[in-house]
Amino acid sequence: MLTIDDIRAVPLFSPLPDSELENLAHTAADLHLCAGEFAVHEGGERALYAVLSGKMEVIKTFDGIERTLGWRLPGTIFGEVPLALSSPFPGAYRAAEPSRVMRVDAPQYYALAAASPEVAFKMGALARERIGGLQSLSAEPPKARVTIVGNRWDDACTLLRQFLARNQISADWLAPDAPELAARWPGTCPTERECPALRLVDGTVLGRPATRELAGLLGLQTQPRLDGYDTAIIGGGPAGLAAAVYGASEGLRTLVLEREAPGGQAGTSSRIENYLGFPNGVSGDELASRALQQARRLGAEILVTRSVERIDVKTRRIHLDGGDAVHARSIILATGVTWRRLAIDGFDRFIGKGIYYGAARSEASATHGLDVHLIGGGNSAGQAALFFANHARSVTLVVRGDSLEKGMSRYLVEQLAGKSNVAVRLRSDVVGAHGDTHLTAIDIRDSTTGSVSRHDCGGLFVFIGADAQTEWLPSEIARDVRGYVLTGDDVVKAARWPHHHRDPYLLESSVPGVFACGDVRLSPVKRVASAVGEGSMAIAFAHRFLQSDGA
């Protein structure tokens, strides 16, 4: 419990009259922190903190790497910048040893400042000093964690660049013939035959590495730490990350298995305009990054570059590529869906060389000044068109239907209409692709007239829907004809529920203890928000299963 003497020991508060000190003693929070425990996380709500004992470390994450910015000792305060700017905390404060900290919430601080202007004056001066320090940090040139040298049209180079981008690893990409290569690559520059070549920030040089090898060197987790978990989540999209956050926060030993990078298809979305709580919209990779940080902070393990080869439903062992296996008391399927492919002659040889399924955000800068085309008339295509319009000379949406309004939200249609470099071709199909080493032109057929015309194309992005890729699941897990996992009442209707002492839970599959959420589950609703909701619900049902079935 705080006393007047505790608070008076803080220089900021020492001149205050006893009445104000007494008020603070009754309203401020008294935090007793163990070593490693946070007083506030980066992005936390504004408040004023004062260190009473111990030692607090000031940390901030730059490009996925934690950096110590300073320390706060007894008698010092923190929180002046968020209060001055009415903003979240720009960094985090963690106890370096057992510490005691008092917290004055924002309304209480503003009441104190109004009653004691000298406190507000001192806080303002300190805030200006600290903001100056933050400005000097922002002026430091960012240093990429990876420098990659490779041909833009090399499949291996494209895959590595996309892997780095989706895992939020900053990378500089240079072509083998770039004039600045000698200045940017210490030592002997790689030849075209040796590319793609990578240099890590610590000086390690790699030639054509596998993504798992690269992930390990960059500090991404690729191996499970335990043999068994309370819940294993297969898939790291919005549904899987939501399940990870809620599972870890409720004390379950939680493991997420992701074959590429967290975020799923939503992670490639250029802008999600209608997600609750983000009035200005949020990019898919930003949403995924925040969820990933949250899940890891709460204790979930996130494995990347690991594919699941099979599930033994009797023993609940999950067998991974490479021969590893883990046991899980409950399993949550959150594998999402995979973009549907176009069966057009010539397309396959240009995949990654000008033709992409989904919105490859890492390719946006390479489309600068070019004419790009997108196939599809849904929201994903509309969001991508708006994104690429900021880089490309022109963006053309090729739509099979006769109206955008039939498949796209009104707000997107209106925003597209306001872009001078965005065009829409209705009742049209792409029927051919041309180029030598990469895509340079496409053929578009007008279905009304039957005429075919050729157009220069610096990039073609395909959004024609997606399918569940669940053929690897065991036969005990019931699916519909399109591969979507049956859950709840659908399992009962299909006569696939094996136990009669209870009904399946809403998100439970035909195998008790195996749940499905997000796009992989048979449901007419396919939204990021619904996937997040189902991820949290799956954890609630997994809890009930673990308690009632005694797994």
Instruction: Output the pLDDT for position 139.
Output: 47
Instruction: Output the pLDDT for position 54.
Output: 96
Nearest to 527 by CA among 536, 518, 537, 517: 518
**Domain-ending residue, one of 440, 465, 490:** 465
Q: Do residue 416 and residue 290 come from a single domain? A: no
CATH of the domain at 117: 2.60.120.10
Q: DSSP of 79-148, one letter per residue? A: -HHHHHHT---SSEEEESSSEEEEEEEHHHHHHHHHH-HHHHHHHHHHHHHHHHHHHHHHTSPP--SEEE
Domain count, the chain: 4
Compute the distance between CA of residue 153 and CA of residue 338 in angstroms, rounded to an integer.
Answer: 23
Instruction: Output the pLDDT for position 288.
Output: 82
Q: Do residue 454 and residue 498 come from a single domain? A: no
Instruction: Output the pLDDT for position 86.
Output: 83
Name the amino acid, one letter, at 492. Answer: V
What is each CA distance from 162 to 169, 173, 186, 261, in whole angstroms? 10, 11, 24, 10
Using 50 as the pLDDT threshold, list the residues of the chain that sit under it. Answer: 137, 139
Domain contains 182? yes
Half-sphere exposure of 516 (CA within 13 A, CB side): 26
Domain contains 156? yes
CATH of the domain at 415: 3.50.50.60
Q: Do residue 38 and residue 122 come from a single domain? A: yes
Q: Do residue 239 and residue 255 come from a single domain? A: yes
Instruction: Output the pLDDT for position 495.
Output: 93
- Residue 512 CA, chain-centre distance (Å), reads 30
Name the amino acid, one letter, at 547. Answer: Q
Compute the distance between CA of residue 223 and CA of residue 483 in angstroms, rounded to an integer.
Answer: 29
Tokens of 286: 């930003």
Q: Do residue 155 and residue 213 come from a single domain? A: yes
Instruction: Write the CB contacts of 383 (distance below 8 Å, at least 6 apart in sequence).
Output: 269, 270, 271, 272, 273, 359, 412
Range of the domain at 66: 4-138
Q: Do residue 310 and residue 267 come from a single domain? A: yes
CATH of the domain at 178: 3.40.30.10
State the first-to-last Cα distance of the chain, in angstroms, to the nearest integer: 43
Express each pLDDT in 523-548 by its tens digit: 988 788 899 999 999 999 999 999 88
Compute the distance between CA of residue 455 and CA of residue 331 in angstroms, rounded to an integer.
Answer: 48
Domain contains 342? no
